[in-house]
Structure 1
Amino acid sequence: MPPQQPPARNEIVEWFQSIPPITKALTTLSIVATAISGLGLIQPSSLILYWPAIKSKLQLWRLVSCFFFNKFGIGFAFNVYFLYRNSLQLETEIFRGQPADYIFFHLFSSGLQLAAASVFDMYVLSDGLLLSIAYLWAQHNRDTPVTFMFGIQFKALYLPWAMIATDLLMTGSLPRASIAGMISSHIYYYLTTIYPNQGGQRFLQTPQFLKRLFPATVARGGTGGVRAGFGQTQEQPRGGGMFGRHSWGSGQRLGT
Structure 2
Amino acid sequence: MPPQAGQARNELLDWYQSIPPITKAIFTLSIVTTVAPALGLVSPFQLILNWNAITKLQLWRLISSFFLHKLDLGFAMNLYFAYRQSLQLENEVFAGRTADYLYFLLVTSIMQLAAARYLDLYVLSDGLMMTLTYLWSRHYRDVPMTFMFGIRFKAQYLPWVLVGYSYLTPGGSVVGSLVGIAAAHIYYYLTTTYPSQGGRRYLSTPAFLQRLFPQTTARGGFTAGGGFQMWPGNQQQQQQQQPQRTNVFGGHSWGRGQRLGT
Q: TM-score, normalised by structure 1?
A: 0.87
Cα-Cα RMSD:
1.8
What does 1:2-151 align with in structure 2 at a 5 Å threshold? 8=7, 10-55=10-55, 57-151=56-150
- 1:26-71: CA deviation from partner (whole Å, max 9, x where unpaired): 000000000101110000000000111111x210000000000011
Structure 1 residues 171, 111: closer, same or farther in 2, change over 3 A?
farther
From 229, 243, 247, the equivalent of 2:256 is 243
- The 1:77/1:173 distance shift into structure 2, 3 A limit, reads closer
Distance 2:134 2:170 in 1: 21
Give me the whole-angstrom Cα distance separating, in 2, the residues matched to 1:166 and 1:194: 28
2:241, 2:150 → 1: CA distance? 20
Q: Extract unaligned runs of 5+ from structure 1.
A: 1-6, 221-226, 248-256
- Cα displacement (A) at 1:244: 2.3
Q: What does residue 192 of structure 1 align with?
A: 191
Report deviation, 1:231.
Answer: 5.6
Taking a change above 3 Å as real, the CA distance of residues 40 and 174 of structure 1, as seen in their structure-2 partners, is closer
Whole-angstrom distance in 1 between the partners of 2:67 and 2:131: 13
Matching residue of 2:235: 230
Three-state SS of the structure 1 residue aligned to 2:32 is helix
Question: Displacement, 1:246?
Answer: 3.7
Find runs of 4+ consecutive structure 1 residues off by over 3 angstroms. 171-174
For 1:182 and 1:87, how far apart are their aligned partners in 2? Answer: 15
Q: CA contact under 8 A between 1:70 and 1:76: conserved in structure 2?
A: yes
Distance 1:216 1:80 in 2: 28
Give aligned-pair identity as a percent. 55
Aligned counterpart, 1:160: 159
1:178 maps to: 177
Deviation of the 1:150 alpha carbon: 1.7
Contact map agreement 2:172 2:259 (CA 8 A) in 1:
no
Q: Does the residue aligned with 2:145 lie in a helix, a strand or coil?
A: strand
Question: What secondary structure, in the 3-state scheme, does the structure 1 residue paired with 2:208 have?
Answer: helix
- Figure out how many residues of one structure are paired with residues of the other and give that number: 234
Alpha-carbon distance in structure 2 between the residues aligned to 1:114 and 1:236: 37
Change (3 A) 1:78 1:218: same
8 A contact 1:86–1:134 mirrored in 2:
yes
CA–CA distance in structure 1, aligned partners of residues 171 and 185 of structure 2: 25
- Aligned with 1:142: secondary structure? coil
